[in-house]
Structure 1
Amino acid sequence: MAETAATATTDQIEHDGEGYRRRDFIDIAAVSAAGIGGAAVLLPLISQMSPSKDVLAESSTEIDVSAIEIGQAIKAVFRKQPLFVRRLTAAEVAEANGVAVDSLRDPESLADRTKEGHGDMLITMGVCTHLGCVPLGAAEGEVRGEFGGYFCPCHGSHYDTAGRIRKGPAPTNLEVPEYEFTSDTVVRVG
């Protein structure tokens, strides 16, 4: 019995009146070491999934729109895809606003697709929403389709001056990316 009492006191460390066994300390140390080891393994795996510097550099682009004449469109590149920037004429704005929104396949008004104060500046991705072809109509002399906007030669989708699908197999309007005017002449896309 005296041996059991001596073993019990040597296996316990007294702390604030409560007894802790040495085995508890070893358990806590082992779990802590396993947690630190797990974090050391996961950290490089997670950090390798971060985008590279060249991808981050293409995550946004700035376009100077001061040189775009009324009625003119330009093509730019955003995230390795074509981007159409078009300054609409007063007639094109009136035509787009004259269309009953509820008659459209993908109902959006011109005001929904442009920024307030810049209703004549339409910025869309230059990728047809049917199968990803590049529509015509941004460059001078290209076919603009039946509605004066864009025409996809691959399968015959016709878009109006607001980039809304009006005829053909495309299910939705041309995508409007996130953008903001940083000044009256510069647009940052992305």
Structure 2
Amino acid sequence: MAIDEPGGPTKRDFLYLVTAMAGAVGVGAASWPFIDQMRPDASTLAMASIEVDVSSLAEGMSLTVKWRGRPVFIRNRTQQEIEAAKATALDDLKDPFARNANLSDDQPATDVARSAGEAKENWIVMIGVCTHLGCVPLGQAGDFGGWFCPCHGSHYDTAGRVRKGPAPENLAIPRFEFVSETVVRIG
């Protein structure tokens, strides 16, 4: 059918179509800067994961690093700290779940589930933010030798599990892995 044939498309229909398409392209071009600015910037993407050399951490030492704007505690636990965490009955815990992003959500809060695994059970990596109101707990303190939040009195054991106080959950464990014997990647 040709344009302007009776019952067919007219020049006016063609102009409406071209105008609508030009308008859609114009709206898309005008809105792109607003959409594009919602993407994370390069500094945020760079902090998506970090690698930390833990070769200088002797047994019993801790290190705090910043990841995604939050403190992360990395600790090379002593054998006594591991044994104390293993000796804790799971029924004695306020929060029975591991809160380990590397494991399934229903994993129980055993010492191994909270650590870097059976081969590296001495290593624990946790987000250092109290689960009560977001304070930063003090290390190697409190009634259970782990972490203590002085703001409201939450006590965590040597595996970062809440044992006493108002905190409702264990300290969270981010995704992490050892990329070598002495380097851990967080994120």
Counterpart residue number, 1:160: 157
- Structure 2 counterpart of 1:175, one-letter code: A
Alpha-carbon distance, 1:33 to partner: 1.3
TM-score (norm 2): 0.83
Partner of 1:145: 142
2:39 to 50, 65, 87: 50
Using the TM superposition, give the Cα deviation of residue 47 of structure 1 relative to its aligned residue in structure 2, in angstroms: 0.5
Tell me the residue number matched to 1:4.
none
Alpha-carbon distance, 1:157 to partner: 0.7
Q: How does 1:96-135 map to 2 (within 5 A)?
A: 96-107=85-96, 108-116=109-117, 117-135=119-137
* Corresponding residue number in structure 1 for 2:55: 66
Instruction: Verify the 8 A CA contact 1:134 1:152 in the aligned structure 2.
Output: yes
- Contact 2:3–2:10 (CA under 8 A) maintained in structure 1: no
Structure 2: give runs of 5+ residues left out of the alignment: 97-108
Q: Matched residues, percent identical?
A: 47
Q: What is the rounded CA distance, in whole Å, between the counterparts of 2:81 and 2:169 in structure 1?
A: 20
Deviation at 1:36, TM superposition (A): 0.8
Residue in 1 that maps onto 2:77: 88
Rate the CA distance shift 1:10–1:129 in 2: closer, same or farther, 3 A.
closer
Larger CA Rg, structure 1 vs 2: 1
- 1:29-44 maps to which residues of 2 (within 5 A)? 29-44=18-33
Cα distance between partner residues in 1 of 2:115 and 2:183: 15
1:85-144, Cα deviation, whole Å (9 max, x unpaired): 011122222221222223311112222222333221101111111112211115xxxxx1
Match of 1:12 in 2: 5
SS in 2 for 1:20: coil
Structure 1: stretches of 5+ with no match in the other structure: 1-8, 139-143
The 1:40/1:10 distance shift into structure 2, 3 A limit, reads: closer
- RMSD of equivalent CA atoms: 2.2
Aligned residues of 2:116 and 2:125 also touching (Cα < 8 A): no
User: SS of the residue aligned with 1:86?
Assistant: strand
- Aligned-pair distance for 1:77? 1.6
Give the deviation of 1:163 after TM superposition: 0.4
Aligned to 1:184: 181
Structure 1 length-normalised TM:
0.82
Number of aligned positions between the proteins: 174
CA distance in 1, matches of 2:68, 2:55: 22
Number of the residue aligned with 1:26? 15
How far apart are 1:10 and its partner, in Å?
6.4
Provide the C-alpha distance between the structure 2 equivalents of 1:102 and 1:38, rounded to a whole number of angstroms.
60
